[in-house]
């Protein structure tokens, strides 16, 4: 009899191996069910790695870290952020939580073991019977195996698989947001560096204007008020430069924060395809963020001895050789790609499947369960012993509540309708969102060449005003207005380029695109 018991154990173990639970967190695997394919990951079976507390680096000023500078492209910053962002690590754990639900549901097909040891003492006493007592010791063990439950467990397994796929798409959407935030902060650094060039140039020009006006005042060619105004404008330009350096320093921190940057080295940004204003000396600008020291100027005089603007100072080359690379995409193509790629929409579709499987599981609650049972026991008392061995199968209904199941079905149908409505809402939101972002990007593409023309015109106007001022044909106010218009035109041009890059990335995010096409 014991041989039959061991043989039965081997058979049940073999059956259980067909439903072995697999961990699936790092490597992808295809699960086929209900004619749908859901791609999940499978992990190597290794020990769990404890989450350690992050160690933050020591703060080193830019000017004291010349040997610790490195250059990072926008792609490298994005890659670093994806690898180090703890919020993405949390999203990955959410995937593991969802995947564990698959194993929990598969466990319904695993054998259930029972074992019990008992001891009984029976004593009889009375007036008309003899006093008796009997001691017995027993042990019994059993295995119960679910054979078939008419699809209830499979529906719950499918629910867990679709829920896991939804978690994977949620992770993809989180990555999309991380990439977007890093890129916007990166472009913002490029914008501020370009602005810093403009403000430094403005300090140099105002320094020259002050020196020239003072020299002309000494010759009796200008009034004292022009000297005072020139000094005030020079001071204002220096204040603007300090503010620009502060903005750059704080936004460098914002970029590092969006990357969760934890290295002890400072890094320098690079020009991108549509944002190419950086000069060869931008490393020095980054190194001098902790102090504001306007550049020195070279004074040049004309034949009459009057100070002129040094050649090249007023030409910041902010628009020289700048070219825009338009995104080759129609509005309809943008919408189609968004409806195809958006991970949040894919996640919503998986949630619809979750609700469909949930409804199936509830409807099948009326179906019975088919189980196989194997038990063996041993009982011994003072004079005898028994060792029964039993193998059997049964089919039956558990404790069900038809009225409760009826309303659970109604609830499941309502949840399914809600999930389908959510898909329709998401599709329409994406449809209009992509179009709005597309139009915004195209309008900025048209605006940038016009802004470039304005910079050229304002530069020419400033040169004319400067020439007239140097020979006494206009006053200082006219000169300063021309300089202010030129500076504003340059700043507006840089802002337009920044807004275009932001609009482009916003469109790509709304399309669910991570890599450059």
Average pLDDT for 120-129: 65
In whole angstroms, give the CA distance from residue 485 to residue 58.
43
User: The tokens of 446 are what?
Assistant: 């048209």
Q: How confident is the model at residue 255 (pLDDT cuts 50, 70, 90)?
A: very high
Q: What is the pLDDT of residue 504?
A: 94
Predicted structure pTM score = 0.79
> Per-residue confidence at 300, pLDDT binned at 50, 70, 90?
low
Decide: 74 and 270 in contact? Cβ < 8 Å.
yes
Q: Is the pLDDT of residue 35 over 50?
A: no
Q: Which residues contact 495 (CB under 8 A, 6 or more apart)?
A: 191
Percentage above 90 pLDDT, the chain: 40
For residues 438 and 510, what is the distance between their CA atoms, to the nearest angstrom?
Answer: 10
* Helix ranges (DSSP H) in 107-151: none
Q: How far apart are CA 124 and CA 313, in angstroms?
A: 117
226 compared with 301, residue with greater pLDDT: 226
CB 268 within 8 A of CB 186: no
CA dihedral 290, 245, 187, 445 (to 10 degrees): -160
Name which residue leads in pLDDT, 392 or 290: 392
Residue 177 pLDDT greater than 90, yes or no: yes
Q: What is the mean pLDDT of residues 276-291?
A: 60
Task: Say what the pLDDT of residue 493 is.
Answer: 92
372 contacts 147 by C-beta, under 8 angstroms: yes
Strands (E), 43-194: 69-71, 112-124, 132-148
Answer yes or no: is pLDDT of 277 > 80: no
pLDDT score recorded for residue 368: 87
pLDDT, tens digit, for every residue of 153-171? 999 999 999 999 999 999 9
Q: Which residue shows structure tokens 């006494």?
A: 472
pLDDT value of residue 308: 53
What's the pLDDT score for residue 189? 93
From residue 462, alpha-carbon distances to 335, 369, 468, 470 in Å are 45, 89, 10, 12
- CATH architecture group of domain 111-120+134-510: Up-down Bundle (1.20)
Lowest mean pLDDT among 340-354, 466-480, 495-509: 466-480
**3-class secondary structure for 270-306?**
CCECCECCCCCCHHHHHHCCCCCCCCCCCCEECCCCC
146 pLDDT exceeds 70?
yes
pLDDT for residue 186 is more than 80? yes
Residue 210 burial class via C-beta count within 10 angstroms: exposed 0-12, middle 13-18, buried 19 and up: buried
pLDDT in tens, 424-460: 999 999 999 999 999 999 999 999 989 988 988 998 8
Q: Look at 42 and 190; give whichever has higher pLDDT.
A: 190
3-class secondary structure, 316? coil
Summarize pLDDT for 62-101 with one digit per residue, the tens.
555 555 578 889 999 999 999 999 999 999 999 999 999 9
Query: What is the model's pLDDT at position 36?
Result: 41
* pLDDT value, residue 386: 76
């Amino acid at each position: 009899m014991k041989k039959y018991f061991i043989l039965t154990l081997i058979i049940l173990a073999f059956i259980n191996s067909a439903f072995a639970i697999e961990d699936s967190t790092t490597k992808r695997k295809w699960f086929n069910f209900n004619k749908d394919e859901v791609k999940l990951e499978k992990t190597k079976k290794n020990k769990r790695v404890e989450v350690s507390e992050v160690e933050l680096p020591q703060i080193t000023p830019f000017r004291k870290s010349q040997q610790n500078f490195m250059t990072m492209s926008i792609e490298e910053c994005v890659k670093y952020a994806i690898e180090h962002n703890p919020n993405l690590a949390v999203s990955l754990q959410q995937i593991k939580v969802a995947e564990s639900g698959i194993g929990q549901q598969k466990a319904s097909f695993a054998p259930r073991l029972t074992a019990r040891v008992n001891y009984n003492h029976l004593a009889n006493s009375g007036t008309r019977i003899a006093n008796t007592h009997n001691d017995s010791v027993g042990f019994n063990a059993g295995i119960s195996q679910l054979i078939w439950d008419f699809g209830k467990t499979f529906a719950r397994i499918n629910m867990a698989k679709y829920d896991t796929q939804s978690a994977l798409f949620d992770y993809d959407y989180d990555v999309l947001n991380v990439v977007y935030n890093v890129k916007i902060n990166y472009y913002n650094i490029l914008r501020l560096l370009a602005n810093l060039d403009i403000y430094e140039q403005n300090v140099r020009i105002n320094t020259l204007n002050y020196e020239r006006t003072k020299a002309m005042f000494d010759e009796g060619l200008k009034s004292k008020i022009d000297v005072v105004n020139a000094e005030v404008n020079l001071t204002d330009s220096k204040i603007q430069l300090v503010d620009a350096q502060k903005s750059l320093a704080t936004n460098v921190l914002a970029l590092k924060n969006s990357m969760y940057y934890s290295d002890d080295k400072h890094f320098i940004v690079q020009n991108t395809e549509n944002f190419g204003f950086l000069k060869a000396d931008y490393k020095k600008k980054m190194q001098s963020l902790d102090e504001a020291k306007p550049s020195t100027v070279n004074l040049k005089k004309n034949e009459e001895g009057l100070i002129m603007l040094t050649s090249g100072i007023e030409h910041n080359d902010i628009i020289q050789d700048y070219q825009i690379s338009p995104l080759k995409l129609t509005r309809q193509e943008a919408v189609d790609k968004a409806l195809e790629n958006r991970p949040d929409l894919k996640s919503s579709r998986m949630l619809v499947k979750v609700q469909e499987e949930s409804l199936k599981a509830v409807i099948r609650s009326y179906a019975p369960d088919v189980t196989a049972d194997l038990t063996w026991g041993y009982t011994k008392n003072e004079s005898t012993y028994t060792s029964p061995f039993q193998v059997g199968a049964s089919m039956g209904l558990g404790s069900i509540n038809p009225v409760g199941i009826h309303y659970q079905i109604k609830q499941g149908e309502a949840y399914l309708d809600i999930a389908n409505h959510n898909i329709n809402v998401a599709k329409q939101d994406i449809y209009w969102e992509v179009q709005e972002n597309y139009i915004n990007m195209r309008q900025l593409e048209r605006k940038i060449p016009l802004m470039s023309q304005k910079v050229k015109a304002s530069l020419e106007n400033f040169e004319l005003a400067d020439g007239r001022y140097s020979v006494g044909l206009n006053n200082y106010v006219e000169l300063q207005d021309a300089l202010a218009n030129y500076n504003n035109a340059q700043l507006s041009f840089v802002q337009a380029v920044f807004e275009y890059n932001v609009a482009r990335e916003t469109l790509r995010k709304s399309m669910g695109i991570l890599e450059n096409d």
